[in-house]
Amino acid sequence: MQRIAIIGGTGKEGKGIAYRWAKAGHEVTIGSRAIEKAQIAADEINELLPSTAPQVVGMVNVQAADWGDVVAITVPYQAHAEMLNQLKEVITGKLVIDVTVPLVPPKVHIAQMPPAGSAGNEARSILGEETPVAIAFQNISYERLMEVGDIDCDVLVCGSSKQAREQVLGLVKDAGLIGWDAGPLENAMVIEGLTSVLIHINKTYGSKEAGIKITGVQKDRNL
Protein backbone atom coordinates (compact mmCIF):
# COMPACT_ATOMS: atom_id res chain seq x y z
CA MET A 1 0.00 0.00 0.00
CA GLN A 2 1.26 3.48 -0.82
CA ARG A 3 1.00 6.99 0.59
CA ILE A 4 -0.74 9.04 -2.07
CA ALA A 5 -1.17 12.83 -1.95
CA ILE A 6 -3.83 14.34 -4.21
CA ILE A 7 -3.01 17.97 -4.98
CA GLY A 8 -6.21 19.93 -5.62
CA GLY A 9 -8.01 16.87 -4.23
CA THR A 10 -10.96 18.99 -3.08
CA GLY A 11 -12.10 19.10 -6.72
CA LYS A 12 -14.37 16.68 -8.53
CA GLU A 13 -11.75 14.50 -10.22
CA GLY A 14 -9.34 14.42 -7.27
CA LYS A 15 -12.06 13.36 -4.83
CA GLY A 16 -13.13 10.54 -7.15
CA ILE A 17 -9.60 9.17 -7.46
CA ALA A 18 -9.00 9.60 -3.71
CA TYR A 19 -12.16 7.62 -2.94
CA ARG A 20 -11.12 4.74 -5.20
CA TRP A 21 -7.54 4.52 -3.91
CA ALA A 22 -8.59 4.73 -0.27
CA LYS A 23 -11.19 2.02 -0.88
CA ALA A 24 -8.37 -0.16 -2.25
CA GLY A 25 -6.46 0.31 1.03
CA HIS A 26 -3.97 3.05 0.13
CA GLU A 27 -3.23 5.86 2.56
CA VAL A 28 -4.58 9.00 0.88
CA THR A 29 -4.25 12.68 1.73
CA ILE A 30 -6.33 15.42 0.12
CA GLY A 31 -4.32 18.57 -0.62
CA SER A 32 -5.82 22.05 -0.88
CA ARG A 33 -4.79 25.69 -0.67
CA ALA A 34 -6.98 25.84 2.47
CA ILE A 35 -6.69 23.30 5.28
CA GLU A 36 -10.39 23.58 6.25
CA LYS A 37 -11.44 22.80 2.66
CA ALA A 38 -9.09 19.80 2.58
CA GLN A 39 -10.54 18.44 5.82
CA ILE A 40 -14.14 18.86 4.61
CA ALA A 41 -13.34 16.98 1.39
CA ALA A 42 -11.56 14.23 3.35
CA ASP A 43 -14.61 13.88 5.63
CA GLU A 44 -16.93 13.63 2.60
CA ILE A 45 -14.84 10.78 1.20
CA ASN A 46 -14.59 9.02 4.57
CA GLU A 47 -18.39 8.93 4.76
CA LEU A 48 -18.46 6.90 1.54
CA LEU A 49 -15.70 4.46 2.52
CA PRO A 50 -16.20 1.08 4.18
CA SER A 51 -15.11 1.02 7.83
CA THR A 52 -12.15 -1.22 6.91
CA ALA A 53 -10.57 1.42 4.62
CA PRO A 54 -7.86 3.75 5.96
CA GLN A 55 -9.25 7.21 6.76
CA VAL A 56 -8.47 9.98 4.27
CA VAL A 57 -6.97 13.12 5.81
CA GLY A 58 -6.71 16.73 4.63
CA MET A 59 -3.60 18.92 4.49
CA VAL A 60 -2.44 22.01 2.63
CA ASN A 61 -0.94 21.10 -0.75
CA VAL A 62 2.74 21.42 0.13
CA GLN A 63 2.36 19.43 3.34
CA ALA A 64 0.41 16.72 1.48
CA ALA A 65 3.05 16.54 -1.27
CA ASP A 66 5.83 16.30 1.31
CA TRP A 67 3.97 13.46 3.10
CA GLY A 68 3.16 11.38 -0.03
CA ASP A 69 5.37 8.86 -1.82
CA VAL A 70 3.14 9.30 -4.88
CA VAL A 71 1.77 12.75 -5.79
CA ALA A 72 -1.26 13.13 -8.08
CA ILE A 73 -1.90 16.56 -9.62
CA THR A 74 -5.59 17.36 -10.11
CA VAL A 75 -5.77 21.14 -10.60
CA PRO A 76 -7.16 23.18 -13.51
CA TYR A 77 -4.53 23.69 -16.21
CA GLN A 78 -4.41 27.42 -15.46
CA ALA A 79 -2.86 26.55 -12.05
CA HIS A 80 -0.65 23.69 -13.31
CA ALA A 81 2.78 25.27 -13.85
CA GLU A 82 2.58 27.48 -10.78
CA MET A 83 1.54 24.55 -8.59
CA LEU A 84 4.38 22.33 -9.84
CA ASN A 85 6.91 25.12 -9.30
CA GLN A 86 5.61 25.55 -5.73
CA LEU A 87 5.86 21.81 -5.00
CA LYS A 88 9.07 21.04 -6.92
CA GLU A 89 11.34 21.08 -3.91
CA VAL A 90 9.29 18.55 -1.92
CA ILE A 91 8.34 16.23 -4.79
CA THR A 92 11.71 15.77 -6.47
CA GLY A 93 12.32 12.04 -6.94
CA LYS A 94 8.73 11.01 -6.13
CA LEU A 95 6.34 9.49 -8.66
CA VAL A 96 4.10 12.26 -10.02
CA ILE A 97 0.79 11.29 -11.67
CA ASP A 98 -0.51 14.23 -13.67
CA VAL A 99 -4.27 14.15 -14.25
CA THR A 100 -4.41 17.71 -15.59
CA VAL A 101 -5.99 18.38 -18.97
CA PRO A 102 -4.91 21.61 -20.69
CA LEU A 103 -8.46 22.79 -21.44
CA VAL A 104 -8.90 26.40 -22.54
CA PRO A 105 -12.30 27.71 -21.38
CA PRO A 106 -14.80 28.44 -22.74
CA LYS A 107 -14.05 26.21 -25.76
CA VAL A 108 -13.21 23.09 -23.77
CA HIS A 109 -14.60 20.86 -26.53
CA ILE A 110 -11.74 21.97 -28.82
CA ALA A 111 -8.25 20.52 -28.20
CA GLN A 112 -5.79 23.38 -27.71
CA MET A 113 -2.41 22.07 -26.59
CA PRO A 114 0.08 24.23 -24.63
CA PRO A 115 3.53 25.25 -25.91
CA ALA A 116 5.14 22.18 -24.24
CA GLY A 117 2.79 19.95 -26.28
CA SER A 118 0.93 18.61 -23.24
CA ALA A 119 0.52 19.14 -19.51
CA GLY A 120 2.55 15.96 -18.95
CA ASN A 121 5.51 17.29 -20.94
CA GLU A 122 5.21 20.61 -19.15
CA ALA A 123 5.39 18.77 -15.81
CA ARG A 124 8.51 16.92 -16.91
CA SER A 125 10.22 20.13 -18.03
CA ILE A 126 9.42 21.85 -14.71
CA LEU A 127 10.30 18.90 -12.46
CA GLY A 128 13.42 17.67 -14.30
CA GLU A 129 14.76 14.23 -15.08
CA GLU A 130 15.07 13.00 -11.46
CA THR A 131 11.30 13.04 -11.00
CA PRO A 132 9.33 10.30 -12.77
CA VAL A 133 6.17 11.74 -14.35
CA ALA A 134 3.19 9.82 -15.74
CA ILE A 135 -0.20 10.96 -16.98
CA ALA A 136 -3.45 9.05 -16.35
CA PHE A 137 -7.24 9.38 -15.85
CA GLN A 138 -7.68 12.23 -18.39
CA ASN A 139 -10.43 10.34 -20.24
CA ILE A 140 -12.65 9.35 -17.33
CA SER A 141 -15.23 11.69 -15.87
CA TYR A 142 -15.54 12.19 -12.13
CA GLU A 143 -19.14 10.96 -12.26
CA ARG A 144 -17.88 7.51 -13.16
CA LEU A 145 -15.15 7.55 -10.50
CA MET A 146 -17.82 7.94 -7.81
CA GLU A 147 -19.54 4.70 -8.90
CA VAL A 148 -19.24 1.86 -6.40
CA GLY A 149 -17.87 -1.07 -8.44
CA ASP A 150 -15.26 -1.57 -11.16
CA ILE A 151 -15.72 0.77 -14.15
CA ASP A 152 -16.03 -0.50 -17.70
CA CYS A 153 -13.78 2.19 -19.10
CA ASP A 154 -10.08 2.21 -19.99
CA VAL A 155 -7.27 4.48 -18.81
CA LEU A 156 -4.29 5.26 -21.03
CA VAL A 157 -1.02 5.79 -19.18
CA CYS A 158 2.00 7.61 -20.61
CA GLY A 159 5.14 8.14 -18.61
CA SER A 160 8.75 9.19 -18.58
CA SER A 161 9.92 5.58 -18.00
CA LYS A 162 8.51 2.06 -18.27
CA GLN A 163 8.91 1.71 -14.51
CA ALA A 164 6.78 4.82 -13.91
CA ARG A 165 4.10 3.56 -16.30
CA GLU A 166 4.03 0.13 -14.62
CA GLN A 167 3.69 1.67 -11.16
CA VAL A 168 0.79 3.84 -12.33
CA LEU A 169 -0.86 0.90 -14.13
CA GLY A 170 -0.89 -0.89 -10.76
CA LEU A 171 -2.67 2.10 -9.21
CA VAL A 172 -5.16 2.25 -12.11
CA LYS A 173 -5.98 -1.40 -11.44
CA ASP A 174 -6.38 -0.66 -7.72
CA ALA A 175 -8.86 2.06 -8.72
CA GLY A 176 -10.96 -0.61 -10.45
CA LEU A 177 -10.17 0.41 -14.03
CA ILE A 178 -8.35 -1.20 -16.93
CA GLY A 179 -5.10 0.58 -17.77
CA TRP A 180 -2.95 0.45 -20.88
CA ASP A 181 0.72 1.32 -21.33
CA ALA A 182 0.37 4.08 -23.95
CA GLY A 183 4.07 4.85 -24.26
CA PRO A 184 6.35 7.79 -23.50
CA LEU A 185 5.23 11.24 -22.39
CA GLU A 186 5.47 12.48 -25.99
CA ASN A 187 2.16 10.62 -26.53
CA ALA A 188 0.45 12.54 -23.71
CA MET A 189 -0.78 15.18 -26.17
CA VAL A 190 -3.06 12.62 -27.79
CA ILE A 191 -4.59 11.44 -24.50
CA GLU A 192 -5.03 14.93 -23.08
CA GLY A 193 -6.43 16.14 -26.44
CA LEU A 194 -8.87 13.22 -26.49
CA THR A 195 -10.63 14.72 -23.46
CA SER A 196 -11.93 17.56 -25.64
CA VAL A 197 -13.23 14.97 -28.11
CA LEU A 198 -15.10 13.23 -25.26
CA ILE A 199 -16.50 16.57 -24.04
CA HIS A 200 -17.73 17.23 -27.59
CA ILE A 201 -19.33 13.75 -27.71
CA ASN A 202 -20.99 14.35 -24.33
CA LYS A 203 -22.43 17.65 -25.56
CA THR A 204 -23.56 16.23 -28.87
CA TYR A 205 -25.23 13.11 -27.49
CA GLY A 206 -26.51 14.45 -24.15
CA SER A 207 -24.21 12.40 -21.90
CA LYS A 208 -21.80 13.19 -19.04
CA GLU A 209 -19.82 9.99 -19.03
CA ALA A 210 -18.26 9.32 -22.45
CA GLY A 211 -15.10 7.25 -22.07
CA ILE A 212 -12.83 5.02 -24.14
CA LYS A 213 -12.13 1.32 -24.58
CA ILE A 214 -9.22 -0.32 -26.39
CA THR A 215 -10.37 -3.18 -28.62
CA GLY A 216 -8.57 -5.90 -30.55
CA VAL A 217 -6.12 -6.80 -27.75
CA GLN A 218 -6.60 -9.60 -25.25
CA LYS A 219 -5.88 -8.33 -21.77
CA ASP A 220 -6.65 -9.81 -18.43
CA ARG A 221 -8.03 -7.26 -15.94
CA ASN A 222 -5.26 -8.37 -13.60
CA LEU A 223 -2.40 -7.46 -15.95
Ligand X SMILES: NC(=O)c1ccc[n+]([C@@H]2O[C@H](COP(=O)([O-])OP(=O)(O)OC[C@H]3O[C@@H](n4cnc5c(N)ncnc54)[C@H](OP(=O)(O)O)[C@@H]3O)[C@@H](O)[C@H]2O)c1
Site for ligand X in 80-119 (CB under 6 A): 83, 99-101, 103
Question: What x-and-dash track marks residues 181-210 binding ligand X by CB under 6 A?
Answer: ------------------------------
For ligand X, which is the closer residue by CB, 15 or 94?
A: 15
Residue 25: CB minimum distance to ligand X, A:
23
Is the CB of residue 96 less than 8 Å from the CB of residue 71?
yes
Q: Is the CA virtual torsion 21, 25, 31, 37 positive or negative?
A: positive
The reply to whether 131 sits near ligand X by the rule CB under 6 A is: no
Site for ligand X in 39-78 (CB under 6 A): 74-77
Question: What x-and-dash track marks residues 139-178 binding ligand X by CB under 6 A?
Answer: --xx------------------------------------
Residue 138: CB minimum distance to ligand X, A:
5
The reply to whether 8 sits near ligand X by the rule CB under 6 A is: yes
Query: Which pairing describes strands 178-184 and 133-135: parallel, antiparallel, or unpaired?
Result: unpaired
Please name which of 173, 176, 178, 174 lies closest in space to residue 212, comparing C-alpha atoms.
178
Please name which of 115, 85, 80, 87 lies closest in space to residue 101, comparing C-alpha atoms.
80
For ligand X, which is the closer residue by CB, 91 or 218?
A: 91
Site for ligand X in 15-34 (CB under 6 A): 32-34
Residue 140: CB minimum distance to ligand X, A:
6
Q: Which of 4, 5, 6, 14 is the binder for ligand X (CB under 6 A)?
A: 14
Please, where are the H alpha helices in 100-178? 119-127, 142-145, 162-174
- Chain residues in the site for ligand X (CB under 6 A): 8, 10-14, 32-34, 37, 74-77, 79, 83, 99-101, 103, 137-138, 141-142
